[in-house]
Amino acid sequence: MYLDLVFFINFFFDFLILYATKLVLKETTSCKRIVLGSLFGSLTIFLLFLSLSNFWLLLFKLVISIFIILITFGKSNFFSDFLYFYMISMILGGFLYLCDVNFTYQNQGALFYGAGLGLNLLAIMILAPIFLYFYVKSYKQSKFQNSLLYSVQIYKDKKVYHLKGMLDTGNQLKDPTTGKCVILLNSNVEIPTSNYFYVPYKALNTNGLIRCSKVDLVKICDVEFSKCLVGFSETAFSLGGVDCILPSIFKEEL
């Protein structure tokens, strides 16, 4: 066993996990504190020389994790920092285990045996940052998209239509006559109407007319909007099951 190598590997992974936690939660901690937290976490290698039961080993690791979080991020958001630290640790550990099983072992049915390849240190150092990069990127993108999603209730002719809407900062469509903003409905959303009119629009250097109708009320997150219309899109838009696109002016109220 090379103690310095084990210490370096522990430090490397602790630094990656803490840095990924910082990016996911948008913490303002410095790299210096991340390094200090990683160094403290690397001290866990000395537990290898202690004869401890599984219970006491788990307890020591939890205590050390608490100090790692306090050193790196402080105590202001301790519970979320602690939770994401362990969640990212398990996700990264599962990924590396999957790679290790696929590259190190071969199987015949349910029997696995060593294939002699193994994941060396260089492969670990290359794969782990790449995996965490794509994980953090996809997490942020998903979180951003979910922050723009709302539950929408449209009241028309004594009926209520429950839809899933997405706020689009680029949707500034308004009826030039009444000044009312337009909620764009997906083509698969059916709201019966007998009275409708056309509102001109311009998008990507394309001019056209969109069929619109008046509604009694629109309610989003307990906020009521009365000065708005619904527009019926002739083409379907695929945005994660979104039923309608909300105008940018709603952002001021939501």
8 plus 118 within the same structural domain: yes
Identify which has the larger pLDDT, 223 or 53: 223
What pLDDT is recorded for position 206? 76
Q: For residue 18, what are the CA distances in angstroms to 51, 93, 226?
A: 28, 14, 47
What pLDDT is recorded for position 252? 77
Domain boundary among 127, 147, 167: 147
Domain boundary among 147, 174, 195: 147
Sequence-distant contacts of 50-56: CB under 8 A, at least 24 apart: none
State the DSSP H helix or E strand holding residue 71, giving kind and residue range, or none if neither: helix 54-73
Q: How far apart are CA 197 and CA 176, in angstroms?
A: 12
Q: Are strands 206-214 and 197-203 parallel, antiparallel or unpaired?
A: antiparallel
Instruction: Tell me the pLDDT band of 205, cut-offs 50, 70 and 90.
Output: low
167 plus 244 within the same structural domain: yes
177 plus 119 within the same structural domain: no
Could you tell me the pTM of the whole model? Answer: 0.55
Question: What is the rounded average pLDDT of the residues 180-194?
Answer: 89
Domain boundary among 147, 174, 193: 147
160 plus 124 within the same structural domain: no
Reduced to 3 states, what is the DSSP secondary structure of residue 236?
A: coil
218 plus 133 within the same structural domain: no
122 plus 167 within the same structural domain: no
CATH number of the domain enclosing 207: 2.40.70
Quick check: 26 pLDDT over 60? yes
Question: What is the rounded average pLDDT of the residues 139-150?
Answer: 70
Neighbours of 150 (CB within 10 A): 18
Q: How far apart are CA 197 and CA 218, in angstroms?
A: 19
Do 217 and 225 touch, CB atoms closer than 8 A?
yes
- Name 62's Cβ contacts closer than 8 Å, sequence gap at least 6: none
Q: Which percentage of the chain shows pLDDT scores above 70?
A: 81
Question: What is the rounded average pLDDT of the residues 120-129?
Answer: 71
What pLDDT is recorded for position 109? 46
Question: What is the rounded average pLDDT of the residues 87-106?
Answer: 72
Give 174's DSSP letter: B
What pLDDT is recorded for position 171? 80
Quick check: 113 pLDDT over 50? no
71 plus 188 within the same structural domain: no
55 plus 85 within the same structural domain: yes
What pLDDT is recorded for position 67? 92
Q: How far apart are CA 39 and CA 42, in angstroms?
A: 5
69 plus 97 within the same structural domain: yes
Instruction: Tell me the pLDDT band of 145, cut-offs 50, 70 and 90.
Output: low
What pLDDT is recorded for position 25? 84
127 plus 35 within the same structural domain: yes
Any idea which residue has 């997490």 for tokens? 139
Six-digit token string for 253: 């109220």
Phi-psi category of 74—alpha, beta or left, where left has phi over 0 and alpha has psi -120 to 50? left
163 plus 135 within the same structural domain: no
Phi-psi category of 206—alpha, beta or left, where left has phi over 0 and alpha has psi -120 to 50? beta
Instruction: Tell me the pLDDT band of 110, cut-offs 50, 70 and 90.
Output: very low
User: Per-residue pLDDT tens for 43-94?
Assistant: 777 766 667 677 777 788 888 889 999 999 988 889 989 998 989 888 888 7
Count of the separate structural domains present in the chain: 2
Q: How many residues does the chain have?
A: 254
Q: Residue 157 belongs to what domain range? A: 149-252
Q: How far apart are CA 179 and CA 175, in angstroms?
A: 5
Q: Is 69 exposed, middle or buried (0-12, 13-18, 19+ CB in 10 A)?
A: buried
Question: What is the rounded average pLDDT of the residues 38-46?
Answer: 82
DSSP per residue, 13-60? HHHHHHHHHHHHHT----HHHHHHHHHHHHGGGGGGGS---HHHHHHH
158 plus 103 within the same structural domain: no
Average pLDDT, the chain: 81
